[in-house]
Amino acid sequence: MKPNREPGLETRAVHGPHVGAPGAMSTPIVHSATFSFETLDGMVEAQNQASAGSFYQRQGHPTIHAVEERLAALEGAEDALLFPSGMAAISSAFMSLLCCGDHVVCVDPCYGGTQALLQWGKDHFGWDHTFVDSRRPETWAAAFRHNTRLLHLESPINPTLVCFDIVAAARLGHDKGAVVSIDNTIASPIGQQPLSLGCDLALYSATKSLGGHSDLLAGVATGSRARLAALYEVRKTFGPIADPTMAWMLERSLKTLPLRVRAGNANALELARRLTDHADVAQVFYPGLPSHASHAIARQQMKEGFGPLLGFEVRGGADAALRVVNALRVIRHGASLGGVE
């Protein structure tokens, strides 16, 4: 008897979108940059399938596309595209939407690389941008101009962990005629599904929780077929293409993503609680704590806890903080987040 309900998140994470399909259990890594065809018609057909066609790696590749299908299934999106870094995904998204003379409204703070991208766009492409205070959404409407084409969000924000009402933000962006993108790296598609909250594009540094083992650099864009068709053109034109081995490693990681996200979120919450009770800690920044200004909205829109990232302020100033950091034994000093380490 066929099951009468849709596969759940864990099932999609482990099996991908084609649950129960026979064949290789693990997607083969196809080390071929180009593919051959019996006829020219067959070649044109594969080329016309864009990212889904096995034609030429910069355009469509089977190992890369397998992980894209799994990512779309996890997000509940029509489509997903894989990139060789989070910044490649974010910059391709911006390039797919913005022309010279267009304006962006962007939450502040947001990931530093995104801020650098906006500055680059201003200096080289003729884009303009206005940063809006992530803690004061009531002020955002005033930042929109007649030429605002994009509202870019991030929630929770790296590293302040400020969260805001994504549904209300997306509504505002759409009312103002803008496309709404969000960097959902910290929550991951397990923790928060921004497309269902009204955003048009959900963007990721897959280097973080999606990859989860600090051993690959990757980026992802998910959204509707139409939006991603524009991103696909940017990817094809500028060439930020993933490697098949990386795509396979990412697919392998995705199978355990729900388990890892839940464990990471639970660990972060436990650590945040213990730090709150510590006499030498002045303040803990974690949206899972009822004392955090974003707690209520984070609780409403994050599904599996409050993310793997937290911050805290040590009593005694910078010298005391440095002593704590340098005395850490298990937690290692390094850039990035969301790895099992």
Give the x/- contact pattern for ligand PLP in 132-161, rule: CB under 6 A: --------------------------x---
Measured distance CA(101)–CA(96) in Å, rounded: 14
Single out the segment in contact with ligand PLP by CB under 6 A; choices: 12-20, 80-88, 232-240, 250-258.
80-88
Pick from 188, 192, 205, 265 the residue near ligand PLP by CB under 6 A: 205
Q: How many residues bind ligand PLP (CB under 6 A)?
A: 13
Contact flag: residue 217 with ligand PLP (CB under 6 A) = yes
Q: Which is nearer to ligand PLP, 101 or 112 (CB)?
A: 112
Single out the segment in contact with ligand PLP by CB under 6 A; choices: 67-75, 85-93, 136-144, 165-173.
85-93
Contact flag: residue 85 with ligand PLP (CB under 6 A) = yes
Pick from 53, 62, 86, 287 the residue near ligand PLP by CB under 6 A: 86
Least spacing, CB of residue 220 vs ligand PLP, in Å? 10
Contact flag: residue 244 with ligand PLP (CB under 6 A) = no
First and final CA of the chain: distance in angstroms?
A: 42
Give the C-alpha distances (Å, rounded to integers) separating 72 from 55, 202, 210, 242.
Answer: 21, 11, 13, 16
Single out the segment in contact with ligand PLP by CB under 6 A; choices: 81-89, 101-109, 228-236, 247-255.
81-89
Contact flag: residue 162 with ligand PLP (CB under 6 A) = no
Measured distance CA(97)–CA(222) in Å, rounded: 14
Contact flag: residue 191 with ligand PLP (CB under 6 A) = no
Using CB under 6 A as the binding rule, the residues of this chain from 95 to 114 that contact ligand PLP are 111, 113
Single out the segment in contact with ligand PLP by CB under 6 A; choices: 79-87, 134-142, 194-202, 244-252.
79-87
Measured distance CA(89)–CA(103) in Å, rounded: 19
Which residue ranges make up the site for ligand PLP (CB under 6 A)?
85-87, 111, 113, 158, 183, 185, 205, 207, 217, 219, 336
